[in-house]
Structure 1
């Protein structure tokens, strides 16, 4: 009974998740819609390949064509073409080698013992990439057939070529995937998380709520921010690849190729993540070792909290402005300029407040100096001179 209840609960959870994903795919563009589109395209490619090779031409090994077609409806057009060429080369080499040895030895068992080690070693060849294993597949298709002949092996290679052409053509012509939306979302998410972390630190310092537990949470979030930036870097790579050979991306007025501006934004966010982690680490060390490094006093935490608030606001506006989609009016440019000016003023105020606040306390001076150094680096990266 317990197992039945657990299974029923798992089915309900997964069913509910599937229904929600289907609703999101129907309601708005996103990952769910992209996945459904790719699944539909793979099914279409298989159907077209089978309709021609199996139903119309009655090819002897017609299943090879839809099989190859499904495999080559890849996540990007460029990847479909590159993997298609690699896969065809692997299948051809495996098929030719198995046919030649099979005709000479005239024994399936002996031929397998000779051919399979060779093609499995060939599968590790770097030029074949992840498609090298299809050399063994091509060889097995030959060796498990009742009769080995040049005609059937040639037909098998031709069917694989036809399936590859269908798969690549469907992926390139029917809603080719474009990942720029995912890239902008990843960059915006990283900027938003940095803004929220710095806002939380500012509030904690301003209201005296920056205990070791809260500081530990801030630092953990700052470390995760680095992983968000890494995800954005990966998304930029996918975006660039998805634009190669993609007529949809080039014709669309709402999509701009990920150029140098994306690299510049990524560099800024990378440094923001590094220095946000530095700020939170300094705060954490300060509140965790108050016997050796006194907690910042109000004369310094007030200006420092103001600086973090202005920095957070500037980062948020930077994200919304830099990663706005085309046609959205590029909002917040004026607000970003104002935020930058406020950021500079708050940094100057922090410079003025530090000497008088900790003039007679060497340990406190070291702590506040570390905070100020992180503040300076963060401001320099976000607003370069």
Structure 2
């Protein structure tokens, strides 16, 4: 049976692998970025190994390609910063070992002292993610120190470690800069799309139930649970925006005509802020609806809920438009968002009119109407604000 299962699973694995390669070759995305990073890292490692082993005939040439791969990050800016930190970390590790090794000799007690000092330096946080490399470099330096024949050889080998790391960092950064340097403008758009899609899925599930006028505990509990997940999506969206911003400094591709004049990062940040506030408002709505139960499920104000559902549908359509945001077609998006905002404003007026006509108990904390009306006005402000921000990104 196990053999049959293995054979049956092989075609599926081949199909998934083929689909992965097709996506990498045909479309921009995670697969292509992974493929590009692998190729660039392999090129940098090979060049570093060639310099260290063939040209310098180093005793430990692996330091160079390891350093080259270590400094290959998703942005040129991060590669430069992390290369400098990595080089400083390695230099500190080697210096700690050299100072203590030459003073106390190559014995176990010296190694213990080197380990403590290097680990403490690494934990200070001054070198960020590269802090642990202080101890790693110190350990490798100690092994090199022990294996060396005399003091002169030890000094030469320890200096060579720093030189190899410098060569690896320089080659890794140069390859990342020269070969298709990552320019992640679209990461900002992706962050907006992620939050907009989350909002669209929530609203498109909510407004039909409100229109039917029957809110089951299962539905309201699901809305409340899904609203609680939004924090993770917000964090991911902000990380995408940070990567987009970080990809610009020191990147030669920003000078290309099609990439000039990009001033949308602040605009996208404002849109993300608006979407985050909107998701918090829907969390408040979901919580109020989940806590509310009418006697015998008799909803006295179904016409109000129907009007409110129409308003949420307009908000949902705005979210769906943002979920396919593309800078290349931004004018069309802003025009559609303006039309959807106008529709939402009309629906909001109908909600307010119905609330006044029915004399809803807006001040009653045991019923959700007051929260619904307040949040509707806030949602309208965010819809209008988002459209205005995106319109401000259009070229003048």
Quick one: distance in 2 between partners of 1:108 and 1:43? 38
Q: How does 1:40-51 map to 2 (within 5 A)?
A: 40-51=39-50
Aligned counterpart, 1:72: 71
Quick one: distance in 1 between partners of 2:11 and 2:129? 37
The 3 A distance-change label for structure 1 pair 43 and 283 is same
The 3 A distance-change label for structure 1 pair 169 and 257 is farther
Quick one: distance in 2 between partners of 1:259 and 1:161? 34
Aligned counterpart, 1:315: 319
Q: Is the 8 A contact 2:214 2:297 kept in 1?
A: no
Quick one: distance in 2 between partners of 1:381 and 1:202? 18
The 3 A distance-change label for structure 1 pair 67 and 358 is same
**CA shift at 1:15, angstroms?**
5.4
Deviation sequence 1:88-116 (CA, Å, 0-9, x none): 11211221222233233333434313322
Quick one: distance in 2 between partners of 1:61 and 1:207? 73
Quick one: distance in 2 between partners of 1:84 and 1:292? 67
Q: Is the 8 A contact 1:73 1:167 kept in 2?
A: yes
Quick one: distance in 1 between partners of 2:342 and 2:197? 20
Deviation sequence 1:101-151 (CA, Å, 0-9, x none): 323333343431332211111111221222122222222223213115211
Pick the aligned partner of 1:300 from 299, 304, 313.
304
Deviation sequence 1:239-297 (CA, Å, 0-9, x none): 112222222244261573553201211111011111122222233233xx223995353
Q: Is the 8 A contact 1:314 1:336 kept in 2?
A: yes
Aligned counterpart, 1:253: 258
Quick one: distance in 1 between partners of 2:84 and 2:363? 67
Number of aligned residue pairs: give it: 379
**CA shift at 1:356, angstroms?**
2.8
Identify unmatched segments of 5+ residues in structure 2. Answer: 389-396
Q: Is the 8 A contact 1:45 1:70 kept in 2?
A: yes
Q: Is the 8 A contact 1:293 1:364 kept in 2?
A: no
Q: Is the 8 A contact 1:42 1:69 kept in 2?
A: yes
The alignment status of 1:237 with 2:242, answered yes or no, reads yes
**CA shift at 1:42, angstroms?**
0.8
**CA shift at 1:43, angstroms?**
0.7
The 3 A distance-change label for structure 1 pair 266 and 364 is closer
Question: Normalization by structure 2: what TM-score?
Answer: 0.86
Greater CA deviation, 119-128 or 30-39? 119-128
Q: Is the 8 A contact 2:190 2:240 kept in 1?
A: no
The 3 A distance-change label for structure 1 pair 332 and 80 is closer
Aligned counterpart, 1:25: 24
Q: Is the 8 A contact 1:324 1:331 kept in 2?
A: no
The alignment status of 1:283 with 2:284, answered yes or no, reads no
Quick one: distance in 1 between partners of 2:283 and 2:65? 51
The 3 A distance-change label for structure 1 pair 193 and 90 is closer
**CA shift at 1:373, angstroms?**
1.6
* Residue aligned with 2:295, SS: coil
Aligned counterpart, 2:123: 124
Pick the aligned partner of 1:203 from 200, 208, 214.
208
The alignment status of 1:350 with 2:351, answered yes or no, reads yes
**CA shift at 1:329, angstroms?**
5.4
* RMSD after superposition: 2.8
Greater CA deviation, 185-194 or 342-351? 185-194
Aligned counterpart, 2:61: 62
* Residue aligned with 1:332, SS: helix
Quick one: distance in 2 between partners of 1:297 and 1:215? 18
The alignment status of 1:84 with 2:88, answered yes or no, reads no
